[in-house]
Structure 1
Amino acid sequence: MITASLVTIASVNFDVVVDFYTQFLGTPPKSYLPNVYAEFPIPGIQLGIFCPKSTNRDEFGHPRQSGMSLCLEVANLEDAIDKLAQLGYPPSGKITTASHGREIYAYDPDGNRLILHQASNN
């Protein structure tokens, strides 16, 4: 029944958020409609970013803590942290260690949580 899946982020700051993910992921979107939609292939998922229609914009762009987290497995946690810092969005917390590996929380320009995770075997 389901043939594909993707995570989407609605953003009234469309250009800023698309630029952030382009720089952080190191690749341009595979699909792009200016001020409308951008889609990035990430191993295991597709990440879609869309600008909500003007009739729906009051639902987005307010200061809030999103319940959505985008968890990204990275080969080197320190390199990912450095890249976020270069983009102006350094993680504010500390690296935590659990049995499954190390991770840290960061946030994109709209406040969506990124969980950067490095597995124990890396």
Structure 2
Amino acid sequence: MDFSCSSAFVTLAANDLEKLVLFYSNLLNLTPQQYTPNRYAEFKLPGLRLGIFRPKQSHEAEFKNSSSAMSLCLEVNHLENAIARLTHLGYPPPGEIITASHGKEIYAYDSEGNRLILHQSS
């Protein structure tokens, strides 16, 4: 069962994406490397990519009343193998694979309940 990670990055959900992007731009003295207004921004730091995204309306409730809006995103080579690995470990993803413009992904949770996004680029 191959579960090799090609990269990992941290993402933050934001209701007011522009405000949070401005905050990190000012804090880090950087402009986002990738930027789609009102949808996504990504900062590239040494050893870390920080993504900030506005959740789709269908997922907004998932980010309300949570202890943290942060998700650990693991970019994988084979999403199905990653799902099998999580299931084998006793933490099967509760939902279905989502097809987004940037690839396929599924949401899962670690043993402490922290949100994970397993992502395979298109």
User: Comparing both chains, which one has the higher relative contact order based on Cα–Cα distances under 8 Å and sequence gaps of 6 or more?
Assistant: 2
Which structure carries more strand by proportion?
2
